[in-house]
């Protein structure tokens, strides 16, 4: 059977697509309401120099507050760390760190924290009498005498 020729120009142009009732009336309203929502959003987003100054002031205040907070935390930590250390341990530490005995005693006498005898310091040094004698320059002693 011979196939029939199709000529598009001879076909009636029919719209096969349908729409819900009153669709275009509702569409205008939907678009109008979206446009008014959009206008509100735009007005909220508008930036001005006033906002820039406020933003700078707010961030500066946060930075200053942050600085003081970090400092106070550090002081607190130091106090907490030292509170668990006995005074004797502090004395030992300072001696080990090559502070002179006189500096140590002077400090503790001034602060009235500890009464230390000279013999205590020698005991802490754990140096024998023999070693002390060896280290003393005899000649200079004689000169002193």
Q: What does the binding site for other proteins look like in residue numbers (CB under 8 A)? A: 3-8, 11, 13-20, 23-24, 27-28, 30-32, 34-36, 38
CA distance 120 to 117: 5
Residue placing its CB nearer to other proteins in the complex, 24 or 68: 24
Residue placing its CB nearer to other proteins in the complex, 14 or 78: 14
CA distance 136 to 99: 20
Residue placing its CB nearer to other proteins in the complex, 18 or 126: 18
Residue placing its CB nearer to other proteins in the complex, 44 or 80: 44
Q: Minimal distance in Å, beta carbon 40 to other proteins?
A: 13
Q: What are the φ and ψ backbone dihedral angles of 17, each rounded to 5 degrees?
A: -90, 135
CA 53 to chain centre: 25
Q: Minimal distance in Å, beta carbon 31 to other proteins?
A: 5
Q: Minimal distance in Å, beta carbon 47 to other proteins?
A: 18
Q: Minimal distance in Å, beta carbon 28 to other proteins?
A: 5
Instruction: Name the 3-class secondary structure at 51.
Output: helix
b/e for 126-135, b at 16 or more Cβ within 10 A?
eeeeeeeeee
């Amino acid at each position: 059977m011979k196939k029939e020729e199709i000529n598009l120009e001879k076909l009636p142009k029919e719209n096969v697509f349908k729409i819900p009732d009153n669709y275009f009336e509702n569409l205008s309203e939907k678009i109008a309401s979206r446009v008014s929502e959009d206008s509100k959003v735009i007005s909220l987003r508008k930036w001005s120099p006033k906002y820039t100054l406020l933003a700078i002031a707010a961030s500066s205040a946060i930075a200053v507050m942050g600085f003081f907070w970090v400092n106070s935390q550090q002081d607190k930590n130091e106090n907490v760390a030292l509170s668990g250390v006995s005074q004797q341990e502090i004395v030992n530490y300072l001696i080990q760190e090559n502070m002179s005995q006189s500096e140590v005693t002077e400090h503790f006498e001034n602060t009235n924290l500890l009464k230390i005898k000279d013999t205590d310091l020698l005991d802490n040094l754990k140096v024998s009498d023999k070693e002390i004698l060896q280290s003393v320059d005899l000649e200079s002693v004689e000169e002193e005498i």
